[in-house]
Structure 1
Amino acid sequence: MAEIRFADERDTETILRFIRALAEYEKLSDVCVADAESLRGSLFGIRPYAEVLLIEDANGPQGFALFFHNFSTFLAKPGLYLEDLFVDPAQRGKGYGKALLKRLAEIAVERGCGRLEWSVLDWNKPSIDFYLSLGAKPMDEWTIYRLEGDSLTGLARS
């Protein structure tokens, strides 16, 4: 039977392994520059920026969910934003992904959040079908914008 628990600093290498596997699955390994030191500081340092759930069975960790709080001004409530959800491909079909999302929903309700949100790549049909089967709705009218690298630095310095 699998169990879900919050990760701690000792899990940094495991989390990094899952992040790299997710980057490979999403064909984004070339932009994945995370390392153990920066991940440890961001997740378990003086000001943690995100939280991680691990799902484990008798053979060890099989997947993770990395999430953080956001805020809805329209609801005047916090929300949870799921940044990454990944289950080892050999372990898929066992309900681990659903179990992680269920636990996230429980956390959102316990913390008084108004919603749980995430993004999915438009080509990732298996994940999209999975999310739809849980009752998730796509936010088709919204487009995500991003500033990074030189654009981010340039705006900050302008």
Structure 2
Amino acid sequence: MIEQVSKENLPEVLPLVRAYQEFYKVQSVCDKRNFEFFSKFCGSSEHGSQFLFRKEQEVAGFATVYFTFTSTITSKIAILNDLYTLPKFRGNGVGRQLIDHCREFARVNGAARLQWVTAPDNVAAQKLYDSMGTSKSTWHFYTYST
């Protein structure tokens, strides 16, 4: 079952946020900073929203969608910035259902598309994404720390 993350259930999601950050080898995971940051996405806001997937009373996964704009198609777009499923729940459709939910959330909120990136070595995630009729970009993703 998919729920919107709220102030009440955010504490249940935060351990998965930490696990997600550790999966991507974030050097300085901070639970307090995570709470403050993800509180901004409780409920729907103009910035986006966060969703959790609950299976048998346990939070099995989460996804976070941010809204932004792109000048190439002069439209609002949704970024699926975070998608994580606990290892014991992988392969059971949790990620797929969260992506589908986020896609519909983006559509209802006027976004022209839902887009995301993943690490080149995250083969398991790519297998899911490739099975969903998505298109894979050939663009390179750059970052610049400030």
> How high is the TM-score relative to the length of structure 2?
0.86
Equivalent-residue separation in structure 2 for 1:109 and 1:20 (angstroms): 29
Specify the alignment match of 1:123 in structure 2.
121
Measure the CA separation in 2 of the matches of 1:34 and 1:83: 18
Aligned CA distance change for structure 1 residues 40 and 95 (closer, same or farther; 3 Å): closer
Q: Distance in 2 between matches of 1:48 and 1:18?
A: 24
Is 2:29 aligned against 1:32? yes
2:106 matched residue in structure 1: 108
5+ long unaligned stretches in structure 1: 153-158
1:2-151, aligned counterparts within 5 Å?
3-26=1-24, 28-35=25-32, 36-39=34-37, 41-44=39-42, 49-140=47-138, 142-148=139-145
CA contact (8 A) 1:55 1:96 kept: yes
Summarize deviations over 1:116-155 as a string: whole Å, max 9, x none: 1111000111111110111222212x2222232xxx2xxx
Q: Distance in 1 between matches of 2:135 and 2:38?
A: 33
Give SS of 1:75's match.
coil
Aligned length: 144
- Code of the residue aligned with 1:7 in structure 2: it is V
CA distance in 2, matches of 1:31, 1:5: 28
Q: TM-score, normalised by structure 1?
A: 0.80
Report which of the two has the higher share of helix. Answer: 1
* 1:125 counterpart letter in structure 2: V
Report the Cα distance in structure 2 between the residues aligned to 1:12 and 1:136, rounded to whole angstroms: 30
Who wins on radius of gyration, i.e. which is larger? 1
* TM-fit CA distance, 1:31: 3.5
**What's the Cα RMSD here?**
2.2
* Aligned-partner Cα distance in 1 for 2:127–2:141: 21
* d(CA) in 1 for partners of 2:141, 2:108: 28
Q: Give the 4+ runs in structure 1 shifted more than 3 A.
A: 40-44, 47-50
Equivalents in 1 of 2:65, 2:58: separation in Å?
Answer: 21
> In the TM superposition, what whole-angstrom CA distance separates every residue of 1:45-100 from its partner, at most 9, and x where no partner exists?
xx874410011122221110011101122322211101110111111121111100
